[in-house]
């Protein structure tokens, strides 16, 4: 028996299986699953991989199995955390006990050692964001210490053969851990990049709000399927061209950012706040009737008007005009944007710095309800959000994409 060559060949045959494990890891990380569910499923996948490695194990002695299970268990802890490591170890341990044999105790000890090494690596390297190839190689060297058990086994071979087998097993284990860990880390990097690109695609870079693409997607979700009750504010910064012309585009950008900051602070978790384009903003209000939407719009108008913008002072007051539509008042969910836009243009025609509600369909409209202009202050919105500018970029879940 050529023990060193057999061990290297067996571990090399497991490389394809380990690559499939890395691909499965990436697919599950991309899935939108709760943290606990994702960790549990990962544990089952890694556990199945350990069983597969044991089915292909080398058997230098009856009941003694040499395979890549410790690599899978260690990386389950290193990349999946405690729950994934626990489930993987449990699955692998139960199967090893079922197989039985003289090496059962040693096999279980090796599984525990691999899980502990992986969790220590997870706590020290991964949680700190310091994952690197040298750190993965160090993990591989740590778990390769299992090879030191070979001389303790009653294998009928010369000391030279045993020594070469130890070296071969340690090197193979370290390199296989490095390879699989690098593949899994690459998956993590790709997922992070994909999420960053997705956030960039749906975020306005100037204000940190959702952009028109994100707004259109949310509005489409709300206007399709079962009927939903919601309101829409279309908001336009008054005389914005004057601000740009008199004080420069940099001042105009800062004015837009100031309005966006007010919108962020007055929005709540169910609202969708977006920069619609140019100096225009849009706010979707879930499960909101028209009187409530009008009060909130008026409160927003007052907050913007009260905000002091030092760069322009009183020379060009920063105010907004707001058109409000509501699904029960408009012609239907599909027309709410058109009706809110029409209300916004009427607000601008009425002198700006005011709030105007969308008209009801002609058959149900009464002249006394066509335009409203609240003048009394109202309380701050419930569930006020205090997020600083740019917080949306750090929490893509708020876009519900």
- Domains with residue ranges and CATH for the chain: 3-200 (no CATH), 212-399 (3.30.70.270)
Going by C-alpha positions, the residue among 268, 232, 258, 229 that lies closest to residue 380 is 268
Q: Which of 2-11, 110-119, 290-299 has the lowest mean pLDDT?
A: 2-11
Which pLDDT value is given to residue 296?
A: 93
Q: Within 10 Å of residue 311's Cβ, how many Cβ atoms?
A: 16
| Element at 322 (helix H, strand E) | strand 320-326
* Contact between residue 193 and residue 156 where contact means Cβ atoms under 8 Å apart: no
Residue 111 or residue 387, greater confidence: 111
* Cα–Cα distance, 74 to 139 (Å, whole number): 8
Which pLDDT value is given to residue 333?
A: 58
| Half-sphere exposure of residue 190: CA atoms within 13 angstroms, side-chain side | 13
Q: Is 251 exposed, middle or buried, given 0-12, 13-18 or 19+ CB atoms closer than 10 A?
A: middle
For residues 97-111, average pLDDT: 85
Q: What is the CA radius of gyration of the chain?
A: 31
For residues 88-104, average pLDDT: 88
Strands 230-237 and 320-326, by their bridges, are antiparallel
Dihedral sign of CA atoms 277, 310, 233, 341 in order? negative
Structure tokens, 239: 């005389």
pLDDT in tens, 26-62: 998 888 788 789 999 999 999 999 998 888 766 655 5
Q: Provide the total of helices (H) and of strands (E) in the chain, helices listed first.
A: 14, 7
User: pLDDT grade, residue 373 (50/70/90)?
Assistant: very low
**Using alpha carbons only, what angle is made at residue 145 by residues 125 and 173, rounded to the nearest 5 degrees?**
75
Structure tokens, 343: 């209300």
Is 0.75 surpassed by the pTM of this model? no
Q: In Å, what is the CA distance from 336 to each residue of 193, 290, 331, 333, 358?
A: 36, 12, 7, 5, 9
* Contact between residue 328 and residue 229 where contact means Cβ atoms under 8 Å apart: yes
pLDDT in tens, 312-356: 655 567 889 999 998 876 655 568 888 899 999 999 999 999 999
Which pLDDT value is given to residue 89?
A: 94
């Amino acid at each position: 028996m050529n023990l060193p060559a057999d061990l290297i060949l067996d571990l090399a045959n497991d490389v394809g299986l380990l690559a499939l494990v890395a691909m499965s890891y990436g697919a599950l990380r991309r899935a939108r699953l709760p943290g606990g569910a994702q960790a549990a499923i990962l544990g089952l996948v890694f556990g199945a991989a350990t069983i597969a490695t044991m089915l292909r194990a080398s058997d230098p002695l009856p009941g003694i199995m040499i395979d890549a299970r410790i690599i899978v268990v260690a990386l389950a802890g290193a990349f999946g955390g405690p729950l994934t490591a626990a489930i993987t170890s449990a699955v692998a341990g139960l199967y090893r006990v079922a197989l039985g044999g003289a090496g059962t105790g040693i096999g279980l000890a090796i599984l525990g050692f691999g899980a502990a090494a992986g969790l220590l690596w997870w706590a020290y390297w991964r949680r700190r964001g310091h994952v690197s190839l040298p750190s993965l190689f160090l993990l591989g060297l740590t778990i390769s210490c299992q090879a030191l058990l070979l001389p303790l086994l009653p294998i009928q071979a010369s000391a030279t053969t045993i020594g070469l087998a130890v070296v071969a097993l340690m090197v193979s284990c370290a390199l296989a851990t490095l390879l699989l860990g690098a593949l899994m880390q690459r998956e993590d990097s790709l997922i992070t990049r994909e999420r960053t690109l997705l956030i960039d695609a749906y975020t306005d870079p100037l204000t940190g709000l959702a952009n028109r693409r994100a707004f259109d997607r949310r509005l489409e979700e709300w206007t399709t399927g079962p009927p939903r009750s919601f309101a829409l504010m279309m908001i336009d910064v008054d005389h914005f061209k004057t601000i740009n012309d008199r004080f420069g585009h940099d001042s105009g950008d800062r004015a837009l950012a100031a309005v966006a900051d007010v919108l962020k602070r007055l929005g709540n978790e169910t609202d969708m706040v977006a920069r619609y384009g140019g100096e225009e903003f849009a706010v979707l209000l879930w499960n909101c009737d028209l009187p409530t939407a009008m009060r909130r719009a008026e409160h927003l108008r007052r907050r913007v008007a009260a905000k002091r913008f030092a760069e322009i002072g009183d020379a060009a007051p920063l105010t907004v005009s707001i058109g409000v539509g509501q699904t029960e008042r408009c012609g239907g969910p599909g027309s709410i944007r058109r009706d809110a836009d029409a209300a916004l243009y009427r607000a601008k025609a009425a002198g700006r710095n005011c709030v105007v509600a969308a008209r009801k369909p002609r058959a149900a409209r009464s002249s006394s309800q066509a335009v409203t202009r609240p003048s009394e202050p109202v309380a701050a919105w419930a569930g006020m959000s205090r997020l600083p500018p740019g917080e949306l970029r750090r929490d893509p879940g708020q876009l519900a994409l």
